[in-house]
Amino acid sequence: MLKIGLSINGESINLSVPDETTLLSLLRDYLHLTGAKLGCGVGDCGACSVIVGGKLVNSCLMLAIQADGLEVQTIEGLAKAGSLHPIQKAFEERASLQCGFCGPGVIMSTKALLDQNPNPTTQEIRDALSGNLCRCTGYTKMIEAAHEAANFLRDNSNGLLGSKQCQKK
Ligand code: FES
Ligand code: FES
């Protein structure tokens, strides 16, 4: 067993898990944060995407111990006080998802992009989502939602997540 201490969505967590535990298993099986999905389990689909230390990772490929001491952001941490994060809101308004299985990963990939690049081109959004496989959509509405969220976040540079609604552009 390994002792791990990390921050998940701003909350400090300390626990012991078997050595081989992946970060995805830590989130889903030990902490019951089931937003990140187990799709392929081998790094191909992006359904398990979360942000660790500011970088997007496939949590199925990362051992939990590798996140020791780091800040982990998951889809569960985006909505605040009952209000969707602007990225989530834009995806909802654009009906960018169908079955939704890929959604948490796609949204975390979008967040990782916009955290680094607040004004991405369509090609940069395509590149950022290239590791997220979606069986249902053609990605067009996801890209529109990413642009809309980027516009909103730039227009509200303090990143307020509260009662303001995303404005359709
Ligand atoms: S489940 Fe991790 S990349 Fe597919
Ligand atoms: S919405 Fe179904 S896999 Fe993407």
Q: Concatenate the DSSP letters of all residues of the chain into one string.
A: -EEEEEEETTEEEEEEE-TT-BHHHIIIIIS---SS--SSSSSSS-TTEEEETTEEEETTTSBGGGGTTSEEE-GGGT-BTTB--HHHHHHHHTT--SS-TTHHHHHHHHHHHHHH-SS--HHHHHHHTTT---SS--SHHHHHHHHHHHHHHHHTTT---SSPPPPP-
Residue nearest to atom 4 of ligand 2 (CA): 134
CATH architecture under which domain 86-155 falls: Orthogonal Bundle (1.10)
Q: Is any ligand 2 atom within 6 A of the Cβ of residue 95?
A: no
Give the CATH H-level superfamily of domain 2-77: Beta-grasp domain (3.10.20.30)
| Mutational test site, ligand 1, from 50, 60, 62, max ligand atoms within 8 Å of CB | 60
- Token reading at 138: 């053609």
d(CA 93, ligand 2 centre) in Å: 16
**pLDDT of the residue at 115:** 97
**pLDDT of the residue at 164:** 43
Q: Is any ligand 1 atom within 6 A of the Cβ of residue 46?
A: yes
Q: Walk along the chain (169 residues) in steps of 10 and give the mean pLDDT of each run.
A: 96 97 98 98 98 98 98 97 95 96 98 97 98 95 98 79 42
**Residue closest to 64 by CA, chosen among 104, 99, 15:** 15
**pLDDT of the residue at 158:** 57
**pLDDT of the residue at 67:** 98
- pTM metric for this prediction: 0.91
**pLDDT of the residue at 157:** 76
Domain spans in the chain, listed from the N-terminal domain onward: 2-77, 86-155
Residue nearest to atom 3 of ligand 1 (CA): 43
